[in-house]
Amino acid sequence: MTNSQRNAYGETLVELGRTNKEIVVLEADLGKSTMGNLFEQAYPDRFYEMGIAEANMASVAAGLSLSGKIPFFASFAAFCPGRCYDQIRTSICIPSLNVKICGSSAGLSDYGDGSTHQSIDDIAIMRVLPNMHVFSPADAIETAKIVRYMAANHGPMYLRVNRNPLPNITDESSSFVPGDITVMKDEGEVAVFATGIMVSKALEAAEQLKDEFGIHIKVINVPSIKPLNITQVQEIAQSAKAIITAEEHNIYGGLGDAISHAIGNSCPAKHVRIGINDKFGTSAENYDILINAYGLSATEIVNAVRNI
């Protein structure tokens, strides 16, 4: 299995397109990056190159949905939803159309292009919209499962995809159930709820804590930001001494807020948020430089656990 979420997105659409002739793909001049071009190569008559016109792309996707098609449209997450929020809100979410959106190169993963191309707010933007589902997979395996789910189920859905290769850490044999969380490690009194790249960082932190300090933690993968299984979250939170949320997104409006809302007043545990501390991205020579500079490393999680 590829360790590229982008490849998993494109390859899974090609796989689904063999039997589901209603699937169509739209791109805004970035198909070679989002890997939507794989669908273009396989089924050129069901691929639409919209040019650098994301708002128009969203509107066309809405129209295709009304004609019975299952449109997937993609761009960098900074541009979809960034440049077409009004069309997503008005033309897709209000009528609850069957349109699927892929925000590629999400978070800081487009490390070379700076703040204009990096999305620190896309989860918040999509999560607030009624009828919209928001998915943030931990690896390529989970990405493929979510794409299959999106194609098979009705309604507006947003998929957040990383630009860079990520380690495959999830179980290929398990099913994706929207809302459900997955306990990756079930030890200790500190529960780390993580999403996207931060799941692998949390697992790395768990190994460091165990090997270097004899500390055990729970690591929970949250691939579905919305919907979110509140009962599952509360069950873990109620037995925790402390909760950490870890996300490659602004600390406002994303996973941290979703977990806090799910817990409500039912859990007195301390809540520490690890994420981008209310600032825009910047350019760097590589992805790891940004991950470290913005406090998204395994070391950050290790230090947070030790300071609780």
**Which residue of the set 11, 54, 142, 247 is catalytic?**
54
C-alpha distances in Å from residue 227, one per residue of 17, 158, 222, 259, 279: 26, 12, 10, 11, 26
Residues 23, 16: contact at Cβ < 8 Å? yes
pLDDT at residue 265 in the model: 72
- Tens digit of each residue's pLDDT (9 = 90 or more) over 107-148: 999 999 999 999 999 999 999 999 999 999 999 999 999 999
Portions of the chain given CATH number 3.40.50.970: 5-160
Residues in the chain, pLDDT under 70: 266-268
Domain range 5-160, its CATH number among 3.40.50.1220, 3.40.720.10, 3.30.530.20, 3.40.50.970: 3.40.50.970
Q: Mean pLDDT in the chain?
A: 97
Order the strands of the 47-49 sheet from edge to edge: 47-49, 23-27, 70-76, 100-104, 157-160, 133-135, 224-226
- Tens digit of each residue's pLDDT (9 = 90 or more) over 181-225: 999 999 999 999 999 999 999 999 999 999 999 999 999 999 999
Cα–Cα distance, 170 to 92 (Å, whole number): 31
- Helix 5-17 vs helix 140-152: crossing angle, to nearest 10: 40
Cα–Cα distance, 248 to 120 (Å, whole number): 7
Portions of the chain given CATH number 3.40.50.920: 182-306
Residue 189 annotated in active site? no
* Peptide bond just before 137 cis, omega within 30 deg: no
Is the CATH number of domain 182-306 3.40.50.920?
yes
pLDDT at residue 266 in the model: 66
